[in-house]
Amino acid sequence: MKPLKQNNHMLTRRAFIASAMIGSSNALLTAKWAFGQSNLFERSLPIPPLIDARSVANKISLIAAEGRHKFFPNQPTATSGYSGAILGPTLRFHKGDEIAVTVENRLSRHTTVHWHGLLIPSISDGGPHNLIAPDTSWQTTLKIDQPESTAWFHPHPHGDTARQVYSGLAGMVLINDGSSERLGLPRTYGADDIPLILQERQFNSNGSLRYDDGPQTTMLGARGDTIIVNGVIAPVARVPVGLVRLRLLNGSNARTFDLSFSDARAFHVIASDGGYLPSPVRRTRLIISPGERFELLADFSDARSVLLETGADQFIPMMGMMSGDVSGAAQIIKFEPDPTKLAPIKSIPEKLSTISGIGKVDGLRRRQFVLNDHMMGMRSRNRGLAINGRQYDMTRIDTTVSLGSSEVWEVESGMMAHPFHIHGVQFRILSIDRRKPPMHLQGNKDTVLVPGSAEILVHFSQRATREHPFMYHCHILEHEDAGMMGQYVAT
């Protein structure tokens, strides 16, 4: 992880600036939930129900509604979810199919459903312009035309995305094109193919979700001292002995995870946001920022229990200065191999995909996007979060690209690292901080963590109109809501 080391100096400087700015004000008050050690890693990992679209004639309906979910025994927490109290079903879509989706909004506020990672025209997507009023519903058709991959869906109403996602609205999408069978990859959902939605939360002592509203939250994003996996704190997953596929989604508002196993065992990254890498990449550590997905093969053939852990989030300008363990190092989930169950897949394929090499980018149009996060001396909570000096405006088109073209986008962060995301595309990372990205970041991506700068090669294959433009934004949801977002048209 050289890029991290390299940035330590800069982060330290940034940390100093941030601490000077926050001063002695009570940075983030953490009401750390004291729950007995005995409760850790005892609750089974819940697996969101799978809806294979073909089993319901490619007609999906989702209900966004408030509910009550038990993070703690005997203490239900007010949450929201899609067709359930928290999160949503996992949807499996098949390449080539057309999916008719109906979303009913039973929330008390406007919402939208954005299909993060899907290559669909903007009119079919639930960006900020496709608002669903309370007690109404929205219909869309998703034409699935992209390689096998893990995507997700979540609300995107401008100014309210962070709170809605924080309250529990998010779900996973599995795009299937037959590759798993062909490659002999683990593919039995919930058994040897396990979805892991990682999120960071803060709780009040009465068990309710805590969302601090204020300039610190705007600046750093909503953070907490508790990590939930598929909506559960510190769960245990009983896994078969052998190779297991983990589909990781960082659905946190702001927190970047630095993942590794407690015994430092290696794993193989097989896919990033947009699908399979050319071949598995062996690693012992994996950084995943908000919005990103990675699929990996974990080897549980020694039948030993192991924890998935995270290091502290190093991509915040306040390391060590926030109270408690906010975005700190933590144990996330325990894997307990069941000696009576053997995983059906025994070997890791050598080749996964034939994604094209990156050709010449010399003649391509280049654009610069500076992610402004200058919050020094901030009074109004939104000031300073912008792109190229402009705060998001739903009525302004910031960028116009031609449909079918490719461009190089140069993205530059300010005081802190930002996960930059673009709707309606999968891109390739040319460089991060002027260096070639590590192997596991060389595949198709729709979100890239930009520590200092990044260059990405973007191909625009999906139409976006003035009425329904596509977004590009920081996936720290508070940054997005506060204006670190722009919109583009592709015609």
- CA 241 distance to own-chain centroid: 28
Per CB under 6 A, 280 contacts ligand C2O: no
CB of 291 to ligand C2O, least distance (A): 5
Among residues 476, 477, 485, 489, which is the contact residue for Cu ion, using CB under 5 A? 476
Among residues 449, 474, 477, 482, which is the contact residue for Cu ion, using CB under 5 A? 474
CB of 207 to ligand C2O, least distance (A): 28
Q: From the list ligand C2O, Cu ion, none, pick the one residue 268 interacts with, judged by a Cβ distance below 5 to 8 Å according to partner type.
A: none
Q: Bridge partners of 51?
A: 91
CB of 484 to Cu ion, least distance (A): 5
**387 vs 42, 81, 123, CA distance in Å?**
44, 31, 24
CB of 454 to Cu ion, least distance (A): 13
Q: From the list Cu ion, ligand C2O, none, pick the one residue 156 interacts with, judged by a Cβ distance below 5 to 8 Å according to partner type.
A: ligand C2O
Cβ proximity to ligand C2O, 425 vs 429, nearer residue: 425
Tell me, by CB under 5 A, how many residues bind Cu ion: 6
Cβ proximity to ligand C2O, 15 vs 476, nearer residue: 476
* Dist. CA 472–CA 478, nearest whole Å: 14
Per CB under 6 A, 114 contacts ligand C2O: yes
* Dist. CA 389–CA 409, nearest whole Å: 17
Per CB under 6 A, 116 contacts ligand C2O: yes
Handedness of CA 150, 151, 153, 159 (dihedral sign): positive
Per CB under 5 A, 463 contacts Cu ion: no
**142 vs 1, 53, 59, 94, 421, CA distance in Å?**
38, 11, 10, 11, 20
CB of 476 to Cu ion, least distance (A): 4
Per CB under 6 A, 468 contacts ligand C2O: no
Q: Bridge partners of 376?
A: none
Residue span 418-457 as binding mask against ligand C2O, x where in contact by CB under 6 A, dash where not: ---x-x----------------------------------
Letter for the amino acid at 208? S
Query: What is the Cα Rg of the chain in Å?
Result: 21
Per CB under 6 A, 479 contacts ligand C2O: no
End-to-end Cα separation, the chain, in angstroms: 40
* Dist. CA 238–CA 339, nearest whole Å: 10
Of 24, 25, 29, 91, nearest to 55 by C-alpha is: 91
Main-chain dihedrals φ then ψ at residue 195, nearest 5 degrees: -80, 135
Strands 406-412 and 453-459: antiparallel
Contact criterion met (CB below 8 Å) for 401 and 122:
no
Q: From the list Cu ion, ligand C2O, none, pick the one residue 126 interacts with, judged by a Cβ distance below 5 to 8 Å according to partner type.
A: none
Cβ proximity to ligand C2O, 30 vs 253, nearer residue: 253
Of 194, 166, 326, 147, nearest to 253 by C-alpha is: 166
Which range touches ligand C2O (CB under 6 A), out of 103-111, 325-333, 425-433, 471-479? 471-479
Per CB under 6 A, 156 contacts ligand C2O: yes
Residues that bind ligand C2O (CB under 6 A): 114, 116, 154, 156, 291, 421, 423, 471, 473, 475
